[in-house]
Amino acid sequence: MQRLHLVFGGELVDPTKSVFRDVDDIHIVGIFPDYDSAYNAWKAEAQRTVDNAHMRYFIAHLHRLREEEQETSSTEELG
């Protein structure tokens, strides 16, 4: 089974919270086929922006948005 991961980041309003300063300026690094490759991309971006304390990058587990074993996922139920 493929487990897709999204790596994205941007500048936060406050480094203690996860609120982006400008959502139009969020950097989408990419979608990766497994956690290891997503982690490597996340680490590269985090190291590249280490001098800016307000910059944060995240890994979103896209595969968790839809569980194939369930008849419907929670996002489908929202309709």
Does residue 70 surpass a pLDDT of 60?
A: no
CATH fold, domain 5-77, is Alpha-Beta Plaits (3.30.70)
Question: Structure pTM?
Answer: 0.78
Domains of the chain by residue range: 5-77
Interval 17-67: pLDDT, tens: 999 999 999 999 999 999 999 999 999 999 999 999 999 999 999 988 876
Question: In the β-sheet with 27-32, what is the strand arrangement from edge to edge?
Answer: 27-32, 5-11, 55-61
Output the six-digit token pair for 8: 């994205």
Widest distance between CA atoms in the chain: 46
How many whole angstroms separate alpha carbon 79 and alpha carbon 75? 7
